Every structure is written in structure tokens, then in C-alpha cells.
Structure 1
């Protein structure tokens, strides 16, 4: 079962539903932002009580973010990520210290309207030579700091920008097409996230040019620690998505190109596939999200 946002031909307004074995069961909420204003037990009850609507045929699945939801991300939570940042950076000790520190690295990634979904393009900066996808399990958190479910995240990153100076992190992480999420939220009450396989595949002209795997078992920090720091000094009335870091990072000689296809798969959660484009001109369609699309 997944919780999804969708739009049908008969109703242009985005709706929220349970998607189970290809059948949609609408939920009595105005959007994901309203769903995440409820406690987990209330959301579970709503999902259990949802009635299938056989009249809903082909629908378009949308990004699982709306309203004032925000996407944040954690960095250097896997040993492989620490090693990769040390390798690329001119200030190596910064990443070595944060890996072992009590306080995690958390950074803003995207507002709801900038999130791209499965099948939509992800971007690389035109002023960055070294760009990589970062496959991550992301937590969907309600306003009460409870983990409601999980989605697949591709945290696109400009490694050459961040590597030049860690203070350039926002430019390396926040730009058009930098945040992709799978459309379906896998409910927290249905899955144990402690040992989920995460796989990244990059294909070019139909051939696999890079492939790697890790597991959430390798993450250093408990998810509740990450959410506690996220909520420590801020409120999220419409909920938030928190990507938990990556344990799959290509070597420095890997160069992502426009036209590549990125596939991120997480066991029991879902799959996310996005073609790569270069530059912000390809993302004018995201402006429609400001109108609630």
C-alpha cells in the first residue's frame, strides 16, 4: 500500500488516496498537508477505512508534497558518504568531524513545489563539472514529529561546487531539478526500515554505466535522532520530508551527463526513475506547482 497525490481527468484538483494493487481509495483530506496534520494512528485509521473508487481510471501521480511542506536532508550519515566528501573537499576535516559529532548535518533541500516525481527530469548545474545522484531513504514526518511513512529520494548534488568550499553547500544542493521523490508514501506501520536495500543505477544510451548498492543498516544515526534535530527549534505545520543521507556515491572520475537515466530502488518502498537535463530552462513546468498543481 502507498499513499499518493493524484489528478484525474474528471477533476483537475489534486487529491490524496490510498493506492493498493492498482486501485485508488480516496482519503477525506484536502491535500498531503492536511493528512500530515493528523497523528499516525489517525492516518492509519483513515487509510484502513478508505473505500475503493472503481470509477477512477487512469490518473497522474504527483509529487507527495504540497502546501507549506518542506524537504530537508541529512548529510554524512554513512561512512561511504563521509569518505566521498573527504575525497572531494579541500577542507577534509569538516566531514570527518561531523560524521562523529553528536549534532547531525541537516540542510534545506526543497519547497514542495520544486519537487520532481518519477518520470520527470532531474537537473545538473551548468556551472558544475562534477554532478552525481545520491539515492536515499526519506522520512515523511507529520506536524507532531512522528514518522508517517517513507519515500525514495534522489538528492542531486554538485560535488565540484561543494568540494571547492563547504560554505557553497546550498548552491550544491538547492537548484532546479535537484530534488526528486517517488510518488508513493509507504506507510510506516507496514514496513521495518532498519535493513532495506538501496540500489542506484545510471544508464546511458541503454547501457548501464554505474551501479551500486547499500543498505539502511549502514546508516550511523537513528531516524528519530534526525527528526528530533529537525524539529528542535522549528515547527512544520504541514509536515516535512527528511532524506536520511546516502551510502552510495560514485567515484570522482564518474561524470553524469545530460541524457542519462537515473534509477533508484529501495526494497519495500518503491522505485524512482528520472532522466537528466542540464540547466534551469528545462524546469519552467515547476512554476505551475505554485498554483497548487
Structure 2
């Protein structure tokens, strides 16, 4: 079972349940965490609550690709994890000019350390959803998408859903100095989640998500990469445990879990490229690439 948000014919935001057969049912909740919390309140799983509701309902006539989809959850905060895959470590080492330490670079060190790399990525106001444009940062010449599995968590750190994330990154800025990480990661329209949330209880093995990223330029496929969460260095619960340690986490926070799909080193995104990130059990997250208008940049 997947959960989406979409605009109805009255331009109102609606929460919807999407069955594995593709049928869509509107739900009487304002957001995903209200659904989860209501299920907890009555002592059932979110899936059971949804099934009881839709048993007496008729599905929408529209299919999911006919709806105007929104961000599936208005996440108060989005955090992200780095160097959780070997491919990510190797990419960071390639781009960095950091001094080599006795036991390797800082990225080698964090890859093997007990404590993972976690960083703040976005707020609700900064996060965009399906089909909205991602923007290129004006002071970077080496920018890429980072396709990732996103964990939707409760304020206690319980994983209640899985979504797709695009952690847009500036490889040149981060490579110049690891202390530039916030500038390499956070700018307008640089965080995308969607198009749906897969209920955690309906995922048999979260370490068997197959990710595909495709980038099109002038309607031609120029980059394609695949990864599987079986390649993760760290477990999802481990990442969450460090995020909530001595930290206040809000209901509906999203934690991106790192990438193992990195375009070729000579590649950078350009205006009008199209990014597609797909996880078969969650959906396909598509976004065009745009330059920021000069009047938007102060």
C-alpha cells in the first residue's frame, strides 16, 4: 500500500491510498502522520485502518499518472546520510582535495567509523515533489542528483514509511572543502521527495530496494545507473538511532539514506535535463532541471 497527496478538482490537497492494483482511494486525513497516529490511537496498523476505510468506498476514476501529485508528506525537516555506500565513499575521495590522513581521507574514516555522517538537508518550505523543477546552483559547475531511499520516521524514531529522495549535490563545492557541505547540499529546490510513501509494514525486505536513476538530455538518455540497498554499509535503524540521539525529531521527519548511484565524473547537470529516479515498489520520481532566474538570486 502506498500513500500519495494530490490536488482534487477543487484544487484542495487530498491524501490518497494506492493499492498494489493501482486503485486510488481518497482518505479522510490531512496528512500521512495523522493517518499513522490515528492507527496507533485505535490500536491497529496503518494498513488495517486503510483497508477498513476503503472497503466501503469506490476508487477514483483517475489513474495515478493523471493526478497532480504533491509532496507525499510535508516533512518538517529532511536530514541526510553520507558515505553509506562504497561508491559514495569513492566518489567523495575523487572530488576532494582534502589532506590524506594516516588512515585515509576523512571519507575513508567516516565510512569505517562507528558514527555515521548525518547532515541537515531541508525544511518543509524548501522541499519539492514530483514534476517540480530542481534548480541548479549559480556558483557551481559540477552538479548531480543523488537518488536515495528516504525513511519517514515518527518523533520516537520509528520507521513508518519509505519514499524516494533526490539529494541534489554540488560536487565541486564539497570537494573544495568538507566544511562547505551545507552550501553543497542546501539551496532553493535542491531536495525532492516522492511520489509516494510505501507503508513500512508492507515492505518485506527494505534491504532489497532496487533503485534506478536515468537522466535525459534533449530526450536522449545520457546517464543510467542502478543500485540496491543490499549494498548499504549501515542499517536503517542505525542511521535513525544516531539522528534521534540527544536530538528532538518531529513526526514525519524524512531521513535520506545515501546514494550508490553517481554519474560519471565528467558529467554535470544542465538546464532542461530530466531526472527520473525509480523504485519499483514506490514509484517514479521525475523532475526537470532549471536555472534559477537572476531576479530570484539576491
TM-score, normalised to structure 1, is 0.89
2:34 alignment partner in structure 1: 34
Count the aligned residue pairs.
Answer: 282
1:61 alignment partner in structure 2: 69
State how far apart, in whole Å, the 2-side matches of 1:283 and 1:60 are: 25
Q: Residues 116-135 of structure 1: matches in 2 within 5 Å?
A: 116-135=128-147
Moved more, 75-84 or 53-62: 53-62
1:202 alignment partner in structure 2: 215
Moved more, 52-61 or 134-143: 52-61
Label 1:282 to 1:223 Cα distance change in 2 as closer, same or farther (>3 A): farther
Is 2:174 the counterpart of 1:175? no
Is 2:77 the counterpart of 1:70? yes
Mapped contact 2:154–2:251 kept (Cα < 8 A): yes
State how far apart, in whole Å, the 2-side matches of 1:275 and 1:252 are: 21
Please state how far the C-alpha of 1:43 moved relative to its aligned partner: 2.1
Q: Residues 95-114 of structure 1: matches in 2 within 5 Å?
A: 95-114=107-126
State how far apart, in whole Å, the 2-side matches of 1:268 and 1:101 are: 32
2:89 alignment partner in structure 1: 82
Moved more, 207-216 or 217-226: 207-216
State how far apart, in whole Å, the 1-side matches of 2:8 and 2:192 are: 22
Deviations 1:92-112 (A, max 9, x none): 611111111111111111112
Q: Residues 151-230 of structure 1: matches in 2 within 5 Å?
A: 151-191=163-203, 192-230=205-243
State how far apart, in whole Å, the 2-side matches of 1:34 and 1:283 are: 35
Is 2:49 the counterpart of 1:49? no
Please state how far the C-alpha of 1:263 moved relative to its aligned partner: 0.9
- SS of the equivalent of 1:249 reads coil
Mapped contact 1:176–1:283 kept (Cα < 8 A): no
The structure with the larger Rg is 2
Please state how far the C-alpha of 1:252 moved relative to its aligned partner: 2.0
Moved more, 33-42 or 239-248: 33-42
Please state how far the C-alpha of 1:239 moved relative to its aligned partner: 2.1
Which consecutive residues of structure 1, in runs of 5 or more, have no partner in the other structure? 285-293
Mapped contact 1:162–1:169 kept (Cα < 8 A): yes
Is 2:271 the counterpart of 1:263? no
Deviations 1:2-32 (A, max 9, x none): 111222123x442322122443333342323
